[in-house]
Amino acid sequence: MRAEGTPVENGQAAFRDALIAAGLLIPTGVDGLYGRSGVFEDVVDRFNDLITTWGGGDGADVMRFPPGVARHQFEQSGYLKSFPHLAGTVHAFKGDERAHQSLLRRLEEGEEWTDAQMATNVVLTPAACYPVYPTIAERGPLPADGALVDVYSYCFRHEPSLDPARMQLFRMREYVRAGTPEQVMAFRQSWVERGRALMESLALPVAVDLANDPFFGRAGRMLAVSQRDQGLKFELLIPIASVEQPTACLSFNYHQDHFGLLWDLRTPDGAVAHTACVGFGMERVALALFRHHGLDVKAWPAAVRAVLWG
C-alpha cells in the first residue's frame, strides 16, 4: 500500500505491534486503550486544523464538551435502545467507612469490589454530537438558516479489539447541522464531497460507501437494513489493517427527524427539525496516514507534509 512499495505486514495485531514499537501508541494492557506519543498527537492536531481549514468558513458555532454527557440527557437520547453493548457509565464509591474497609479487603483478596460502586450522573460520551441536540433544543425554535455546530470530544465505546483502529477511547471531530430536510441534506452532500477531497489531499486511497450502525439485537438488524435502504449513513473508507475490510475514517449521517422528535427541536414554522452530522475519526485518520506514508513522519511525501505542516 505504501508509495515506495515497501511490504507491510498484514493483520491488525502486526500493525498494532509496529505502532507500539515505534513509540506512537503506548500500550496499557487493555485492548483499545492507548496513550499517544507527541508525534502521534501532532498529526492529530494538524489534521484537526486541516478540518477547520475546510469547514471553518461556514461559521459553525464552536462547542467543546468534556467526554461525559449528563445522565438524564443520555437516558433521553435513546442510545440504550440501539447500542446498550457499547455504552460506558461512570460509577463511583459512595459508601461509608465500613464500606471502604470492605472495599479494601476485597481488593486485597482479589475479590470483586466494583459491584459496590454506584452510578453517577455522568455517562461517557458515545459520539461527539450527543450533547449538541439537547443544547440547541434548549434555545427554542431554530433560526431560519438552522444551526451548525462544531464539536470535538473523546468518545468511549465498549468494543475492545486488537485492531488499533478500533479503540475504546478515541476522538471524534464533528460538524452537526439542524434545520429543514433540504438544509440538512445539502449539508451532508457537501461534506461527502469535501470529505473525499480533504482526504485525497493527504494522498490516501479513499472509497465512499453506504453503511449502517451496529444496532443491538434482532430488532436492531431490521433498523440496520432500513438505515441502509434509505441511504442514511455513508462512510469514507481507507484500508488500514486490511485491504479487504477497509476502515471507516469519516462518516456522514442523516438522522431524519430522530433527534428533532426526541428533543422537540423545531424549525421556525413549527415543523420538527431534521439533523445530520459528519464525524472525523481522529485516531483512524492518523493511523491511515501512518499506514500509507510510513511510521516516520519526516519521511512522508513532501506534498502531504505541506498540507499538514504548511
In whole angstroms, what is the distance from residue 219 CA to residue 30 CA? Answer: 31
Residue from 157, 177, 188, 291 touching ligand ATP (CB under 6 A): that is 157
CB of 134 to ligand ATP, least distance (A): 19
CB 161 within 8 A of CB 31: yes
Return the C-alpha cell found at 55: 469547514
CB of 307 to ligand ATP, least distance (A): 19
CB of 87 to ligand ATP, least distance (A): 13
Q: What is the size of the binding site for ligand ATP (CB under 6 A)? A: 18
159 binds ligand ATP (CB under 6 A): yes
Measured from the CB atom, the residue of 180 and 280 that comes closer to ligand ATP is 280
Cα atoms found within 13 Å of the Cα of residue 8, Cβ hemisphere only: 25
CB 104 within 8 A of CB 114: no
**Residue closest to ligand ATP, measured at CB:** 281
Distances (CA, A) of 15 to 18, 186, 188, 241: 5, 38, 32, 7
In whole angstroms, what is the distance from residue 35 CA to residue 24 CA? Answer: 8
| Exposed/middle/buried for residue 162 (C-beta within 10 Å: 0-12, 13-18, 19+) | middle
The dihedral built from the CA positions of residue 241, 292, 299 and 53, taken in this order, carries a sign that is negative
Mark 209-228 with x for binding to ligand ATP (rule: CB under 6 A) and - for no binding. ----x---------------
Residue from 19, 44, 129, 276 touching Zn ion (CB under 5 A): that is 129
Residue 170 interacts with which of Zn ion, ligand ATP, none, CB < 5 to 8 Å by class: ligand ATP
248 binds ligand ATP (CB under 6 A): yes
Measured from the CB atom, the residue of 34 and 133 that comes closer to Zn ion is 133
Rg for the chain, CA atoms, rounded: 21
Residues in region 255-284 near ligand ATP by CB under 6 A? 279, 281, 283-284
Chain contacts with ligand ATP (rule: CB under 6 A): 127, 157, 159, 165-167, 170, 172, 213, 235, 248-251, 279, 281, 283-284
Positions in the binding site for Zn ion (CB under 5 A) = 127, 129, 174, 277, 279
